[in-house]
Structure 1
Amino acid sequence: MRCFIKCLLVLFSLSVMADTRILVVNANGYTLDENGKLLQFSRLLVEDGKVSALDPAQLPHDNLTRIDMEGKTLLPGLIDAHGHLLGLGANLLEVDVRESPSSQAAAKAVAEYAFANPNQSWITGGGWNQELWPDRAFPLASTLDAEVSNRPVWLSRVDGHAGWANSKALAIAGITKKTKDPVDGKIIRDGQGNPTGVLIDGAMALVEREMPPPSASLYAAQLEAAGAQLLSLGITAMHDAGISHNVYDFYMARALEHTLPVRIYAMLSATDPTLPQMLDNGKIRSADDFLNIRSVKAYGDGALGSRGAALLAPYADAPDQHGLMLTQPEDFEGLFNGVLSAGFQLNFHAIGDRANQLALNQFEKSFKQVGGQDLRNRIEHAQVIAPQDLSRFAALKVLPSMQPTHATSDKNMAEDRLGKSRMKGAYAWNTFIKSGVALPLGSDFPVELANPFYGLHAAVTRQDRNNQPVEGWHPEEALTIEQAFRGFTLDAAFAAHMEDTLGGLTPGKWADFVVVDQNIFDIAPQDLWKTRVEQTWLAGKQVYPTK
């Protein structure tokens, strides 16, 4: 089975590659060399979908198409090192309450969506964030009931670590006053112990297991919607942080059909019961690099906004809470050793300082027991780190995979949750860079908006898009534009073992590039987020806007 899958992908991918040459001229081009040095060029020669030369001295005489960029800025295609592809597609197709100013407004948006979609048995969506509402309180089932009571409603929190249900959904799931909290989750209750409608982390499964399973046609619609948006934003590759066996099969089929819209580095979900079978299939990398599977996403703790991030000390704004571990510490050794022994990279979700410390401890133990230190293992998010643990990432060769817009979105809430004294090891991008470790960057879409120029802006300014705070939030941890650009290109490719063909426009790499409306290396940092993509190219073919 393993050989069949690999050989089929290779043979099919090779069969669709065309013998074409294009010469891009009059470009204000930028890329990084293999050492991360910024290079400029004006001409780009592409043969068979890959870069053949920058500013070539000699040109082939036949089958050459010239593309004049009219002096516009050209960049390598950007790579989002942590996102959720079909989750983004679902977000685009379902009810989105991200912009709702209150729980009541969110419920009214749900009602409007339900009215427009009368045949949907469940009303699903998400994006709510109680920290942006006037009362900053978790929402109630009764608020949804007032608008939609005859169909179950389930809305995920913006970070995906909590869900909001109406009473119909709670009843279908059998959640009552007598329902016990799972070890990896929490049911929010009122003073009498009754469920209020919000479920944290592992408790979300009580509702989600009652929902209709997604179909292949739904996956296809989600993929199409997400792919179109990413290409319009200049994202040509992304790391899909946690896929089920069903999605694994779906991606494999689309790779064989050559119909994946962007390049996908897929992480197998550690919670999928068929993980051993997928590991046994071995690593997958299609010859056209549209699908690469050689890693596992594991789940350490929850999120800071829902107080699910596991902390060493209590929450400053909830002294009785320390957060939640989604994978229990006694299960770490079997998980880590099993994944590393299979030769797969382990990418471990950890937001709180306790979760990060436990993960680093286990990486250190597992490397001594089974090896695997050179697999470029990662900690996804790495948001809050005990100061004494910051240097351990470089020492252990564990990559902090981080999302710059998390800091600018979390800046007010994070200090409430942690207190100022614990901010020293939080969102510490510059400290990681100085330690010598690669820093792959992403967005965690759809938790945050997918636009990579929002991420570049946040990384460089430590400000939100209203230029607040004026001096930047903990500006000592800001990156230069070159460092941030590397995070979304070369370091992201390195974190996926794909720096040989992705992450830049040097000879031998795929000709994935974008044309933008301003020079990001020669503008005020506060304007980075305003950058707009005019063209996106994949393997020397224009894919946005479509012709």
Structure 2
Amino acid sequence: MKKLFTAAILFVTLISCSQKEKADLLVFNATIYIVDSAFSTAEAMVVSAGKIIATGKKDELEKSYDAKEQLDAQGKFIYPGFIDAHAHFMGYAESLTRANLVGTTSWEDALEKLKTFAADNKEGWLVGRGWDQNDWAMKEFPTNDKLNELFPDRAVLLVRIDGHAAIANIKALEEAGVKPGDKMTGGEVEVKNGKLTGILIDNAIDVVSAKISRNSEAQILKAVKQAEENCFAVGLTTIDDCGLSAASVEKIKTQQSKGELKMRLYVMLSDEPSNYDYLEKSGAIKTDRLNVRSFKVYGDGALGSRGACLLEPYSDKPKHYGFLLSNPEHFDSVANRIYNKGFQMCTHAIGDSGNRTILNIYAKYLKGKNDLRWRIEHSQVVNKNDFNLFGANSIIPSVQPTHATSDMYWAGDRLGSERVKGAYAFKDLMKQNGWIPLGTDFPVEDISTFKTFYAAVIRKDAKGWPENGYQIENALSREETLRGMTIWAAKSNFEEHEKGSLEKGKFADFIILDKDLMKANEKELLEIKVVKTFLGGEKVYEKN
């Protein structure tokens, strides 16, 4: 009788298991932020074939699913994988092969770092990036005199952190054929007392950088893999790469098809005729890991190098307004082309004049509410009379919170006390459409997603300055910020139905953090670490 009873129990158990749905992974013992419309949480979730198939309580899920593997999250905190709505992934990878001048405290400090780099890299051009004169005691642009002394026979090009200014030595200028008095639309070659200082602004940089020999395919792939690893380590699972060529897209397709590149990328093609021809011929490109349907257009320069186009002169440089990088007629013509093909237009605009120019051109084609999701990248300084144009025409302001905390030390000098009120106005911009995508703009800013979160919510630097936060009335809430880094960023890419939240049917792109972003105190936010990163249910990063 006892054997019969045991057999019956075993039979019932087998029947019960056979009725369960097979799954790949059950994650439990966690606080899971689903980031759905209700901003709900769960303690467990089930993954199958790279997608979320259920969330809820562990005991309930185990009744319905038979998972091959189980992951005990040990009470930690799970979020959708972060989506960086504006960055330069391939540019970041390239920067890993060049002299890193970020954080230098003076021109002399930058030169010392360059000398160290040169000692280990003895051939070809010396290329670096990351210096920022606003971080130095002497806040004016340097001249190339010392570069000429140190490297008389080797071309040098050092790009400012924002990519909108650079300094070149005389050897590089000679190889590029740059001469005093050269003029160009959207660029400036600085001359003092009839002599080239080496400073190049915006389009002038391209004249010199075109002469740099490119890295080999092996070097590029090595750098891309390192860049991807660094991105997974900060919880990024999708990156908007802003301003690539058609040739770069083809390389990405090859790398992804071979499994050499796993990162999901939303690529904006740069504003070049060949890129328009490419996408018009191929049509929008969409796979699980690659989405190409938009164009990055360049409206004006940057505030730090005084290239941003302003309605009134710079407060710290009378009679200087900055400039547009192309004539308004060009912006109108590409808007017409993009609109007629149904693609997305994403335009860099920093200054209030740059933003007004692009807003008005967008409005001409969009004509009110729509779902084309045309974006203005940065939307950094907006005149108070122009905010309404975003909402009236469903134009998406795509912003990078760390720009506010990087620029806050000197933005008032550039703009004056009144005009600066319309700068870095994330809350006011968010109200226009009820949502806003967030990014970092790396390598212009630090790759850290937690610095993005901190800057959006707290609006202070790492030392806690200013005490009450910078223009704190435009801080975002923690929920708004998390949405901006996940579901709203996905929405800006037309991908909100496949990623950006941990809802049933979406990609199992998720991260495990050691602290709770929603509840950690101010000082803890910058100390939070990613424990694990999953992409499509596959673990792609684990903290040592």
TM-score higher than 0.5: yes
Flag the 1:274–1:72 CA change in 2: closer, same or farther, 3 A. Answer: closer
What 5-or-longer segments of structure 1 have no aligned partner? 1-18
Query: Does residue 65 of the first structure (1) align with residue 69 of the second (2)?
Result: yes
Identity over aligned residues, as a percent?
37
Larger radius of gyration: 2
Distance 2:128 2:406 in 1: 20
Deviation at 1:107, TM superposition (A): 1.2
Superposed, 1:375-390 pairs within 5 Å as 375-390=372-387
Secondary structure of 1:444's aligned partner? coil
Superposed, 1:109-508 pairs within 5 Å as 109-118=113-122, 120-177=123-180, 179-190=181-192, 192-271=193-272, 273-286=274-287, 289-368=288-367, 373-508=370-505
Secondary structure of 2:174's aligned partner? helix
Query: Does residue 527 of the first structure (1) align with residue 524 of the second (2)?
Result: yes
Distance 1:526 1:272 in 2: 48
Distance 1:148 1:113 in 2: 13
Distance 2:402 2:507 in 1: 28
Distance 2:489 2:194 in 1: 46
Secondary structure of 2:96's aligned partner? helix
Secondary structure of 1:101's aligned partner? coil
Per-residue CA shift, 1:396-423, capped at 9, x if unaligned? 1010000000000000221110001102
Which range is displaced more, 434-443 or 39-48?
434-443
Flag the 1:274–1:357 CA change in 2: closer, same or farther, 3 A. Answer: same
Deviation at 1:273, TM superposition (A): 3.2
- TM-score, normalised relative to structure 1: 0.92
Secondary structure of 1:38's aligned partner? coil
Residue matched to 1:6 = none
Are 1:75 and 1:514, in contact at CA under 8 Å, matched by a contact in 2?
Answer: yes
Distance 1:277 1:66 in 2: 45
Q: Select which of 89, 92, 95 maps to 2:99.
A: 95
Amino acid at match of 1:432: L
Residue matched to 1:12 = none
Secondary structure of 1:189's aligned partner? strand
Per-residue CA shift, 1:248-299, capped at 9, x if unaligned? 111121232233231100001113534222232111111xx21111111000
Per-residue CA shift, 1:299-351, capped at 9, x if unaligned? 00000000000001100001121112112112122110101211111001000
Per-residue CA shift, 1:481-526, capped at 9, x if unaligned? 1111110001100000000111011111111111111111112234
Are 2:300 and 2:307, in contact at CA under 8 Å, matched by a contact in 1?
Answer: yes
Are 2:81 and 2:500, in contact at CA under 8 Å, matched by a contact in 1?
Answer: yes
Per-residue CA shift, 1:127-146, capped at 9, x if unaligned? 00011111101121112223
Deviation at 1:425, TM superposition (A): 1.3
Are 1:78 and 1:234, in contact at CA under 8 Å, matched by a contact in 2?
Answer: yes
Amino acid at match of 2:167: W
Per-residue CA shift, 1:427-479, capped at 9, x if unaligned? 11111222334200000000000111101000011111111000011110011
Distance 1:85 1:218 in 2: 15
Are 2:531 and 2:543, in contact at CA under 8 Å, matched by a contact in 1?
Answer: no
Are 2:225 and 2:260, in contact at CA under 8 Å, matched by a contact in 1?
Answer: no
Residue matched to 1:518 = 515
Q: What is the number of equivalent residue pairs in this alignment?
A: 520
Distance 2:517 2:331 in 1: 42
Are 2:373 and 2:492, in contact at CA under 8 Å, matched by a contact in 1?
Answer: yes
Are 1:301 and 1:309, in contact at CA under 8 Å, matched by a contact in 2?
Answer: yes
Are 1:141 and 1:196, in contact at CA under 8 Å, matched by a contact in 2?
Answer: yes
Residue matched to 1:16 = none
Secondary structure of 1:423's aligned partner? helix
Q: List, as ranges, runs of 4+ consecutive aligned residues in structure 1 with deviation greater than 4 Å.
A: 60-63
Secondary structure of 2:408's aligned partner? helix
Distance 1:63 1:236 in 2: 24
Secondary structure of 2:266's aligned partner? strand
What 5-or-longer segments of structure 2 have no aligned partner? 1-21
Secondary structure of 2:90's aligned partner? helix
Residue matched to 2:13 = none
Amino acid at match of 1:55: G
Distance 2:432 2:208 in 1: 43
Amino acid at match of 1:322: Y
Distance 2:350 2:215 in 1: 29
Amino acid at match of 1:460: V
Residue matched to 1:8 = none
Flag the 1:214–1:374 CA change in 2: closer, same or farther, 3 A. Answer: farther
Secondary structure of 1:471's aligned partner? coil
Amino acid at match of 1:538: L
Deviation at 1:61, TM superposition (A): 5.4
Deviation at 1:62, TM superposition (A): 4.3
Distance 1:274 1:436 in 2: 30
Residue matched to 1:13 = none
Distance 2:132 2:292 in 1: 33
Residue matched to 1:14 = none
Are 2:394 and 2:433, in contact at CA under 8 Å, matched by a contact in 1?
Answer: no
Flag the 1:58–1:27 CA change in 2: closer, same or farther, 3 A. Answer: closer
Secondary structure of 1:397's aligned partner? coil
Flag the 1:137–1:185 CA change in 2: closer, same or farther, 3 A. Answer: same
Distance 1:452 1:271 in 2: 31
